[in-house]
Amino acid sequence: MTDGPKKIIKDITKGFAKHGYICSEQIATAVYLASELEKPILIEGPPGVGKTELANTAALYFKKEMIRLQCYEGLDESKALYEWRYGKQLLYTQILKEQMQEVLEGAKGLKESLDRLMKFEDIFFSEDFLETRPLLEALTSEKGSVLLIDEVDKSDEEFEALLLEILSEFQISIPELGVRKADVKPLVVLTSNNSREIGDALKRRCLHLYIPFPDAKLERQIVQARVPEISESMQIQLVNFVQGIRELDLKKLPAISETIDWAKTVILLNSEELDAKLAEDTLNVLLKHQQDIEVVKKEIPALVSSATETSDGKSLN
């Protein structure tokens, strides 16, 4: 490697920005480490801070195919790893029965029949009948891929155990066929919303990145990148307002994705200035619980005034 790690991390930051993903140094470092060490990376953080998007952008940046596996309760190996083509297998056994006659024709005695049967090529469990699912697909992909295992916390603990072999050795054991090893190791990204504690065994095999809510500066950059139409003063006010809301005690805090949605809404409404009425009318874009909306409604005047004040201060500077 001729380039120092610092340069590569900078390149990643720039490359990601080109695809509309503004990442902090921490995120860029994590991506660098994941590709350098060839280790899976587990991303945690509140919903809507761009965990899934990170994998998407990584796929674009590294110019690799993106393979996504959405986890849910009850997900098992037949949907995640591989499956046999049962219909075809059943047909095969039917054909086999007919063919058997030909194979055994003229054989004398039990022993000879058995010998012939043994020589007969059996393809019941073979590649031909193997249906690949996302995980196996990611391993067999020739050009390498970015494998996103989304919301791994939603899956059962059994599935987690299933992932261990893939994540540490980049291989899958198929009992009938043996071990399939990846030629080109995929970049694996796992995301979790922490709805349940992920097992230590899984955590140990991964790098761990925690993405918190962004600070005002980063969030402004993100809004700028995602909604470039927005005026600068409006963008500052929106971000300040959202940052203010995050200080409150709410059921679900608005994340970056909500800020972006809100910015788009404001553009759609052709508003130039953030005021109490606009905030109140569009609050449901930002907050997803009626209780939260009630709480924030009371605080709107204070939030709006502080948001516009600080933005005035900034623009004077």
Partner 1 sequence: MEKVLTDFVKALRNSNVRVSPAETIDAVSVIDSVGYEDKELLKRTLSIVLSKTPDEKDKFNACFDDFFSDEIKQQVSVDMDQLSDIKDIDSDLAKKLLEGSQGELMLSIADAAEEAEIREIRYFTQRSVFTRRILEKMGVGKLEDELMQLGSSREDELPSDLEQELRNQLTNLRERVSDYVQQQFLLHGDVSGEQLREQIFKSMNMAQIDRSYLNEVHSLVRKMAKKLANLHSRRKKNFKKGKLDIRKTIRDNWVNQGILFNLSWAYKKVDRPKIYVICDVSGSVGAYARFMLMFLFSLTEVVSKLRGFVFSANLGEVTNDFKDAKLDEAIEKALQKHGGGSTDYGQALTDFVSLCLDEIDNKTTVVILGDARNNFGPEKAHLMKTIKERSKQVFWLNPEGKYRWDTGDSVMTKYSAYCTKVFQCGNIDQLERVVSTLLKTAI
**Nearest distance from C-beta of residue 272 to partner 1, angstroms:** 39
- Token reading at 70: 């959405």
**Nearest distance from C-beta of residue 128 to partner 1, angstroms:** 16
**Nearest distance from C-beta of residue 171 to partner 1, angstroms:** 18
Nearer to partner 1, 25 or 309 (CB): 25
204 lies in the binding site for partner 1 (CB under 8 A):
yes
Measured CA to CA, the distance from residue 313 to residue 317 in angstroms comes to: 7
**Nearest distance from C-beta of residue 34 to partner 1, angstroms:** 9
Helix 290-316 and helix 232-246, axial crossing angle in degrees, nearest 10: 130
**Nearest distance from C-beta of residue 17 to partner 1, angstroms:** 18
Nearer to partner 1, 202 or 263 (CB): 202
Nearer to partner 1, 168 or 265 (CB): 168
Angle (nearest 5°) at CA 18 between 13 and 20: 95
Give how far the C-alpha of residue 215 lies from the chain's centroid of Cα atoms, to the nearest Å: 22
* Interface positions, 14-33, toward partner 1 (CB under 8 A): 25-26, 29-30, 33
Q: Which residue, chain included where needed, has tokens 């309760």?
A: 73
Q: Checking DSSP bridges between strand 207-210 and strand 41-44, what pairing results, if any?
A: parallel
Nearer to partner 1, 27 or 274 (CB): 27
Alpha-carbon distance values, 144 to 12, 51, 188, 273 (Å): 18, 21, 11, 48
Measured CA to CA, the distance from residue 261 to residue 216 in angstroms comes to: 17
Nearer to partner 1, 94 or 270 (CB): 94
Count of residues that bind partner 1 according to CB under 8 A: 38
Nearest to 170 by CA among 156, 157, 160, 184: 184
- Residue 10 carries which side chain, given as an amino acid letter? K
13: number of Cβ within 10 Å: 20
Measured CA to CA, the distance from residue 189 to residue 42 in angstroms comes to: 6
**Residue from 157, 247, 272, 273 in contact with partner 1 (CB under 8 A):** 157
* Interface positions, 39-58, toward partner 1 (CB under 8 A): 39, 41-42, 44
**Residue from 1, 110, 118, 316 in contact with partner 1 (CB under 8 A):** 1
- Token reading at 45: 């953080």
97 lies in the binding site for partner 1 (CB under 8 A):
yes
Binding residues for partner 1, rule: CB under 8 A, are 1, 5-6, 9, 25-26, 29-30, 33, 36-37, 39, 41-42, 44, 74, 76, 78, 83-84, 86, 89-90, 93-94, 97, 124, 157, 197, 200, 203-204, 206-210, 212
